[in-house]
Amino acid sequence: MERIEDHIGMLNKIAIKAHKRYVAMGITTHEVEDIVGELALVFMKAQEAFNAESGYKFSTYFYTSAWNHVNRFIDKHLRNNADAQAMSMDVEVEEGASLHEVISSDALTPEQQAMQDEIAMSAFARMSSLTKKVVMMTREPSKELLDAWNAKQAFALRHRELGFGERRAPRRITIGFVCAFYGINKNVQTKIMNEVKDIANEVAA
């Protein structure tokens, strides 16, 4: 049985990064200590669900489970936010969905979520080096990338406030947004998106 003491460093780092992301998105209900407590519960669920014969390290499994928890909380916040609700869901498909969007669902039991986590890790392991880097940037964006995303959200909001009509912006950092920010051309972006979708479909089959 894995001990939380052996993974507390990773847990704390995730909590600090998650808190920064929450603050950037206007989520003020959680302090770092609150997130640490939630991730401790995630750790205990991961202990119960982890299959040592899966070929993955527990640290990898917990890392993925922890970020899935953080991203689901952000998703819930965005759905409850009036401005986010006004944005079209089609924007994310046009700009490139994240791996989370391609292979996850919000209506999952803990057992189903554990299986979904394994699928996500299996999918990630099969990706090419470039695709892995892009996917990781949707999960853990750099400060520059997050600043650019926040600026795009602020511009869209200002555009609506001035009465210029609806200005669409992605609800979250997507593969398409990462590619555009780093100047990855459309052909390569299409290959990355097709690779993510194909691998996700294969491991989920």
* Nearest CA-CA partner of 118 in 41, 60, 79: 60
Tell me which of 166 and 6 has the higher pLDDT.
Answer: 6
Distance from C-alpha of 29 to C-alpha of 22, rounded to nearest angstrom: 9
User: Which residue has 């409850």 as its token pair?
Assistant: 80
* Nearest CA-CA partner of 50 in 136, 140, 110, 6: 110
Report the amino acid identity of residue 112: Q
The boundaries of the domain holding residue 139 are 4-204
Distance from C-alpha of 163 to C-alpha of 45, rounded to nearest angstrom: 48
Lowest mean pLDDT among 106-115, 138-147, 165-174: 106-115
DSSP states of 130-156: HHHHHHHHHHS--HHHHHHHHHHHHHH
Q: Say yes or no to pLDDT of 154 above 60.
A: yes
Half-sphere exposure of 15 (CA within 13 A, CB side): 20
pLDDT tens digits along 28-60 = 888 999 999 999 999 999 998 888 887 888 888
Domain count, the chain: 1
- In the chain, % of residues over pLDDT 90: 13
Q: Please, which pLDDT band fits residue 84 given cuts at 50, 70 and 90?
A: very low
**Range ranked top by mean pLDDT from 13-17, 53-57, 135-139:** 13-17
Q: Say yes or no to pLDDT of 2 above 60.
A: yes
pLDDT tens digits along 180-189 = 888 888 888 8
DSSP states of 34-79: HHHHHHHHHHHHHHHH--GGGSS-HHHHHHHHHHHHHHHHHHHHHH
Any idea of the CA torsion for 99, 26, 16, 135, to the nearest 10 degrees? 20
